[in-house]
């Protein structure tokens, strides 16, 4: 376990940008770890004007401060709870991506040997034309339903039912008859998200996970750039800590992080770390 963490950048912006540009150019492979900060940079703001625009009635009733904490509100009815999650899923999973940040990242990675590990649940990599064979999505997808128990390890596309819900939602509720139920056991369905131990890892999840493990096994040595984008401490055991450990095992590897709100790196890797505290979209633009 790595200890002694420095919570700051590693130097002035222009200096670190040039170091990152050189590390990117010289790398044999780039392994990207993407967290919610990347989607935030792409325009998925969970507070402020966007919150009021899409959830103004919920904000007024439950005094919500952001979309995430709103998930834990004491909703008056199940139909109201579904209406809240419906809106969240629709605007963050199916509506047009606010900015072209992901496409700029794809362009930056073109021509490189790369792989992406992400905890994001908005399907934005796939919607930005990243090939799925280069992706491992670990914590689910708002575009999928699963049995809430769950009684079986399968997921179901939810676009059709959510579209119908959007058309029929009224007074912060959806019609009871539109609440989806498991085709196997009849229990209520839920979104396929990693909230707790009921999370379903379906066949697609395992295929993606195996792809990532195989990629790592092929890149244990060499000039590997571990590029962390918008990864905080909500689930550091998925990307941040594993990246640090992988870099310690490979003397030719470099750790880089772009994080607007919580830049950090381990003292042990100070000589091989590049940490930039700027908007990810702007840094990708400057790198291109």
Confidence of residue 3 (pLDDT cuts 50, 70, 90): confident
- Identify the residue whose tokens are 């950048």: 9
pLDDT in tens, 158-179: 999 999 999 999 999 999 999 9
Instruction: In whole angstroms, give the CA distance from residue 86 to residue 96.
Output: 16
The pLDDT of residue 1 is above 80: no
pLDDT the model gives residue 51: 96
Q: Residue 19: in which H helix or E strand, if any? A: helix 13-26
pLDDT in tens, 272-287: 999 999 999 999 999 9
- In three-state secondary structure terms, 229 is strand
pLDDT the model gives residue 118: 99
User: What percentage of the chain exceeds 70 in pLDDT?
Assistant: 100
CB 221 within 8 A of CB 174: no
Superfamily name and number for 5-41+99-139+201-287: TPP-binding domain (3.40.50.1220)
pLDDT in tens, 41-65: 999 999 999 999 999 999 999 999 9
pLDDT in tens, 198-246: 999 999 999 999 999 999 999 999 999 999 999 999 889 999 999 999 9
Q: CATH 3.40.50.1220 residue ranges in the chain?
A: 5-41+99-139+201-287
């Amino acid at each position: 376990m790595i200890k002694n963490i420095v919570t700051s950048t590693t130097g002035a912006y222009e200096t670190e940008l040039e170091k990152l540009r050189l590390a990117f150019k010289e790398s044999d492979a780039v392994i990207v770890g993407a967290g919610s900060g990347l989607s935030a940079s792409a325009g998925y703001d969970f507070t402020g004007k966007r919150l009021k625009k899409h959830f103004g009635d919920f904000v007024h009733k439950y005094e919500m401060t952001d979309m995430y904490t709103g998930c834990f509100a004491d909703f008056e009815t199940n139909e109201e709870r579904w209406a809240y999650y419906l809106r969240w899923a629709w605007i963050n999973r199916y509506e047009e991506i606010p900015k072209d940040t992901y496409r700029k990242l794809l362009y930056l990675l073109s021509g490189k040997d790369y792989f992406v590990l992400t905890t994001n649940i908005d399907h934005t990599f796939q919607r930005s034309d990243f090939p799925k064979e280069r992706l491992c999505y670990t914590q689910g997808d708002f575009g999928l339903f699963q049995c809430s128990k769950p009684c079986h390890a399968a997921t179901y596309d939810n676009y059709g039912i959510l579209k119908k819900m959007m058309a029929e939602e009224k007074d912060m509720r959806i019609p009871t008859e539109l609440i989806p139920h498991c085709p196997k056991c009849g229990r209520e369905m839920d979104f396929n998200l990693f909230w707790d131990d009921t999370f379903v890892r379906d066949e697609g999840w395992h295929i993606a996970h195996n792809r990532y493990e195989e990629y790592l096994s092929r890149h244990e040595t060499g000039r590997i750039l571990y590029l962390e984008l918008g990864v905080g401490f909500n689930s550091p055991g998925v990307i941040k800590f594993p990246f640090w450990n992988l870099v310690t095992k490979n003397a030719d590897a470099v750790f880089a992080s772009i994080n607007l709100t919580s830049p950090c790196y381990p003292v042990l890797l100070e000589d091989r770390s590049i940490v930039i505290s700027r908007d990810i979209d702007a840094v990708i633009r400057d790198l291109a």
